[in-house]
Amino acid sequence: MENIGTLEYVLDKYSKVWSWKVTGDRAVSMISRLVSEAWYGENVNEIIIPDSTETVKQLKLIMDRYPLEILSKSTWQRKIVKTYAPKPTLPPIKLKLKRAKTGEQFRGKLLNFQKEGLDFLMKSSGNALLADEMGLGKTVQTLSYAATEKQTFPILVVAPLVTLNNWEREIEKFLKKKSRNGRIIENESPSVTIIRTGKSQKLPKTDIYIINYELLFKRNDDLSKLGLKTIVCDEVHNLRSKTTQKYKAVKKLAALPSINYRIGLSGTPIYNRGSEIWPIVDIIKPGLLGSFKEFCEYFCYVNEKGKAIVLENKRASLRNELQKHVMLRRKKSDVLKELKDKVRYKEVIAADTDYYLEELDKIWKKVEAEQKDAESEFSKSTSYNRAIQSERQIAGIAKLPHVINFVKNIMEIEESVVVFCHHKVIHKLLHESLQEFFPVSIIGGQSDSVRQDQIDKFQKGESKLMIAGIRAGNVGINLTRAKYVIFAELDWSPAIHRQAEDRLHRIGQKNTVFAYYLIGQGTLDDHVANILVDKSYEIDEIMDETYENYENKDKAELILAQIQDKIRSK
C-alpha cells in the first residue's frame, strides 16, 4: 500500500520538547481529527504530535491501515517495543474437577465435561460465572446443578427475550417435578411462570420464574416477595454496565437474604473492554475484585475517553484471579474432540462503487453540517453514530447483488445455508431476491411462536435457507442443520460474529462449519473487517490466553476519518 506521508522524531522548536512530526496532506487531515493534542507545524501539510504512550499507540493504530514512511526508524522501533513490550505469562489455573453425579431430579444425561461443569458449580457453592464457549450446554449444566444442590427452588432465570421459551423447553426436558414432601414425580416437570408484562401484580407460587432483562426493573418489588433461592443470569454480558437499570435490578435481587446461589452464563462475558467483567463479578461474588475504584487502580488505566482498559501486563493475572475464584471457561477445541473446527474466509466481492461514493459524499456533507451546528458533545456523538450507521447500510446495498449471487452459488450444491445481515432493508431485499429457495427468517419483532416455527422448519430441512438478523439470531437458537454461514454485513463486535457462528458450531454439528465474511470491494468493509473481525480485544487475552495488543479505541472517529479520506481521494 502506498505511503500517505512521513513520520519523524523531532525537537519541536516552540515547545523545546521531543515530538513526532507527520507530513503529507492525507496524513495530516486524518491525524488532526484523531489526536486532539496535535498542533500544526511550520508548513500547511505538517503536524506535530506530543511523544506519549497514548499517541504512539494511536499512530500505530492508524499506520496499520494507512502506512507512513518512517524517517526515524530506530526511535520508532524503540518506542514500539516499549509500548508493546512482551507481557509476562502466568501459568493458567488448572482446576481439578471430578465428574459429578446428578441429583435424582435431573432427567437426561450429561457429557463428561458437563459433569465437570456441575462439579465446578458445586465447589463454587453456586456462585459462579460459567463462561464456556457457546454451544457447550451452559443451560443444561445449570439445570443439573439446580436438580442436584439442596434448597435451589424457587429459581429466577433472567434472560434475553428471545430465549425465554427455550428456557421453558429445556426445563421441561431436563428437570423432574419434586413434590412438597420431597417425592420425585417422573412424568412431570417443575412449574414455570414466564413474566411477560411490566405491570406490577402478585405473582403465583411457582418453582421457576423466567423474565427478560428489560422487564426486571419494573417487576423488582414483585420478585423480591417470592423468597427466591437462586438467580440465574443468562447472557450475563447484559449486565456489563453498572449504570443500567437492569444491572441495578439484578444487584438488588442478588442481595436478598433468601438468595443462596448466583449463577452467570455467557460465552462472551465481555464485548469491548476488560473492565466490563467487574459489574458481573460484583453480582456473583461481591467484593472479589474490590470496589470498582480499587479494581481500576490495580488492573486498569483510563484512556482519554475516560474508559477503563485492563493493562496488558495485568490481563493474565486477572484471568487467573477469575479462574481461581469464580469463572469456568472451556473452549470447544478442549472438550469436544469430535467437533470439527470452524473455517473462516474473507471473500472480497464486487460492489457498486459509484453509488457508494455518491452516497458517502452526501453522508460526509451532512455530518460536517451537523457537527458545526451541534450544541453539545452528545449531539456530536449522535451525529457521528448516525453517519456510521448510514455508511454501513449503503455499503450493504452497494454489494447486495453480488451477495445474492454468492448465496445462490452455495445453494447450488444443495447445502443448507444461514445468511446473517444487520439492516432490516437488507434483510427484506435478500428475502425477496432469494424467494426461489423458500427462505425462512429470523428478524427482530417476531413473536416467539413464529420465530420457533421458522427455526423448526430449517432444522427439519423444510427450507434450506435461513436469513437472520445478526442481533436477533445470534443467541438462544440451534442451526446445526447448516454448515455454511454467510455474513452479508458486519457488526461492530467480534463477539456478535462468534455468537452467530456458534449457532451452527455447537454440540450436534457433524461437519466443519464454513464462515464467509463478504467484503465489498471499494467500500470501507475492508477496514471494518480488520478492526472488528481479525483483531482480538483485550478480553480475548483475559478469557483465552491469546496475545493481541490491539485495543478497540476511537472506532467511530477512525471510521469517520476513513470516510473523509475515501471521499477526498476519489
pLDDT digits (tens, 9 = 90+) for 367-409: 888 888 877 877 877 887 788 788 888 989 999 999 999 898 8
Angle in degrees, CA 472, 531, 4, rounded to 5: 145
Q: Which architecture, in CATH terms, is 342-534?
A: 3-Layer(aba) Sandwich (3.40)
DSSP bridge pairs for 21: 8, 48
Q: How far is CA 264 from CA 28, 268, 289, 491, in A?
A: 47, 11, 16, 25
Q: Is the pTM of this model over 0.85?
A: no
* Higher per-residue confidence, 113 vs 348: 113
Give the separation between CA 163 and CA 238, rounded to whole angstroms: 13
* Higher per-residue confidence, 81 vs 449: 449
Q: Which of 113-122, 211-220, 349-358, 373-382 is least confident?
A: 373-382
pLDDT of residue 556: 46
pLDDT of residue 560: 53
- Cell readout for 153 is 427452588
Q: Is the pLDDT score of 567 beyond 80?
A: no
Q: Which of 44-58, 165-179, 360-374, 529-543 is least confident?
A: 529-543
Would you say the CATH fold of 342-534 matches that of 112-335?
yes
* Extents of the domains making up the chain: 6-83, 112-335, 342-534
53-62, 70-79, 95-104: which is most confident: 95-104
Per-residue pLDDT band for 334 (boundaries 50, 70, 90) equals confident
Q: Is the pLDDT score of 76 beyond 90?
A: no
- Cell readout for 15 is 515547545
β-strand pairing of 46-50 with 69-70: unpaired
* Higher per-residue confidence, 367 vs 439: 439
pLDDT of residue 535: 40
Per-residue pLDDT band for 492 (boundaries 50, 70, 90) equals low
Give the separation between CA 526 and CA 491, rounded to whole angstroms: 13
- Cell readout for 87 is 507481557
Q: Which of 21-25, 314-318, 462-466, 530-534 is least confident?
A: 530-534
Query: Which residue stretches of 227-290 are H helix?
Result: 245-254, 277-284
Q: For the chain, what is the total number of helices (H) and then of strands (E)?
A: 21, 22
* Residue 243 identity (one-letter amino acid): T
Mean pLDDT of 473-481: 80
Angle in degrees, CA 433, 436, 437, rounded to 5: 100
Give the separation between CA 50 and CA 17, rounded to whole angstroms: 8
Q: How far is CA 167 from CA 194, 211, 418, 477, in A?
A: 10, 10, 23, 11
The third-level CATH classification (topology) of the domain covering 112-335 is Rossmann fold (3.40.50)
pLDDT of residue 569: 56
* Residue 520 identity (one-letter amino acid): G
485 and 407 in contact (C-beta within 8 Å)? Answer: no
Q: Is the pLDDT score of 565 beyond 70?
A: no
**Could you tell me which of 80, 86, 85, 84 has the C-alpha nearest to residue 9?**
80
Per-residue pLDDT band for 536 (boundaries 50, 70, 90) equals very low
26-30, 102-106, 383-387: which is most confident: 102-106
Mean pLDDT of 233-262: 95
Fill in the DSSP letter of residue 126.
T
Q: Is the pLDDT score of 432 beyond 50?
A: yes
pLDDT of residue 551: 33
Q: Is the pLDDT score of 555 beyond 60?
A: no
